[in-house]
A and B are shown apart, each in its own frame.
Chain A
């Protein structure tokens, strides 16, 4: 289930130039072996404007208990709850690839979609 992240090609770099991608440097080991500490990844901030996150995608989100902290995790499950009166609310169960090193939704619970900054689409440097 742990899909590899593609390397950033020319297209990704061009999208970064026109500000359609954001760069993030990864610190910590909870996403190894997919992302080593020090890796630089590209984030698509618009990925979830027109669709919901899917299982297995890697996202950057604010920590639910400490919104000043941005974390990178893999989507383990998507919970969609529908109510009659309002739009469906989407929450994500997030997991670390390296489960032994990481606390994730097992400790901080599901994460609301509005905390998600976008989808990690490629890896510029491993």
Chain B
């Protein structure tokens, strides 16, 4: 008893914490971060097409558009991979056996958007992310409506 009381007193002085959380401590995941990047890449793809063949005055603009498109497509891929590997667990596969296929296809679409000027691929990526959005929120038991910014 006495020992227990002393132990409890000492325990109260513990100020340092150690995490036994899953991975990072925040646990905040949202497919929206991938959607925003993919939407930016789609927008830049359209802008590049609208710009048409670049004459010398437009080379800077053209270069910027391409750089932003590639950066955002890459970011979308990173966000998807984090969601895939850090959030989703084996038990989710029981309910969504094609989960790996969905992420793999979405990641491949990110590459296609990054490499080319391909509106179809960019639209397909948005659709793939909407699909992942629906699966993700279903695993959380929440009904969260999908939306786009533009």
Residues of A within 8 A of B (CB): 7-10, 13, 16, 22-32, 35, 37, 40-41, 60, 63, 65-66, 69-73, 96, 100-103, 107-108, 124-125
Contacts and interface: CB of A to CB of B under 8 A. Distances in A.
Given A24-B14, A26-B20, A40-B14, A100 B91 contact: yes
Contacts of B25: 27-28, 69
A69 B24 contact: yes
B86 interface: yes
Given A108-B23, A125-B11, A100 B89 contact: yes
Interface of B: 3, 6-8, 10-11, 13-25, 85-86, 89, 91
B104 to A, nearest CB: 18
Contacts, number: 93
B66 to A, nearest CB: 31
A13 B10 contact: yes
**Most chain A beta carbons < 10 A, residue from B8, B20, B25:** B20
Nearest to B87: A103
B23 A27 contact: no
B124 to A, nearest CB: 28
Contacts of B91: 100
